[in-house]
Amino acid sequence: AQSVSQHNHHVILSEAASLELGCNYSYGGTVNLFWYVQYPGQHLQLLLKYFSGDPLVKGIKGFEAEFIKSKFSFNLRKPSVQWSDTAEYFCAVIFTGGGNKLTFGTGTQLKVEL
Amino acid sequence: GAVVSQHPSWVICKSGTSVKIECRSLDFQATTMFWYRQFPKQSLMLMATSNEGSKATYEQGVEKDKFLINHASLTLSTLTVTSAHPEDSSFYICSARDLGYTQYFGPGTRLTVL
């Protein structure tokens, strides 16, 4: 079955540290890729998405992600995190031919310490 | 960005009663909406796909007679939890998909069944 993996379940960083959250999926076909963020007490918000074109995608709040097809990966990065980035981050994938439904990873809880 | 609202944001009901949750796309039309459950510290679990003007498509293991979905217009989908039981207590989240296949999420509804 098609699946999405986020290997880092909990990440703790100090402010100004660089961030990279892993996301891998299991599917050899065409995919649409998303990163969502859920701040404490708030709803899911779209950070960025990739459908086609330049595999390096820039999103809101200084986040970016790179689609590496050969590695089935879509890792999220930010060069310098802030305390306000403390949140849960979800990678999600639409597997084309799979009913166009989002399949979510299990999420990564990021805590940024001052 | 696109906004999705849910009403109510929280509801407490007695066992055996029914509860209706509304999901609205406020600034765009959504031919497809989705309903999810989110358990504490877990990812979102897709319950069903709601298509405007047609029957919803339920995921395996989701009781369609218990979780009634109606997508009566391009901006409104409703989820009715019928004959609610304590095990139905959860956080229910809807999302609406725009024409570009991007999903935007509502703030969720916390259901507590006594």
State pLDDT tens for residues A24-76.
999 778 899 999 999 988 889 999 999 999 999 999 999 999 999 999 999 99
Closest in A42, A49, A104 to B44, CB measured: A104
| CA distance to A8, A28, A58, B83, B112, per residue, from A75 (Å) | 11, 17, 12, 43, 36
CB B61 within 8 A of CB B93: no
Q: What is the pLDDT of residue A27?
A: 79
User: Quick one: which H or E segment has residue B23?
Assistant: strand B19-25
Instruction: Please give the residue of chain A at the shortest CA–CA distance from B45.
Output: A104
Q: What is the pLDDT of residue B96?
A: 95
Q: What is the pLDDT of residue A98?
A: 66
Whether residue A107 and residue B43 make contact (CB cut-off 8 A), yes or no, is: yes
Region of residue B9 (phi > 0: left; psi between -120 and 50: alpha; otherwise: beta): alpha
pLDDT band at B15 (very low <50, low <70, confident <90, very high): very high
Q: What is the pLDDT of residues B38-97, one digit of tens each?
A: 887 778 899 999 988 888 999 999 999 999 999 989 999 999 999 999 999 999 999 999
* Chain A from 38 to 97: CB within 8 A of any B CB: 42-46, 49, 51, 90, 94
Q: What is the pLDDT of residues B102-114, one digit of tens each?
A: 899 999 999 999 9
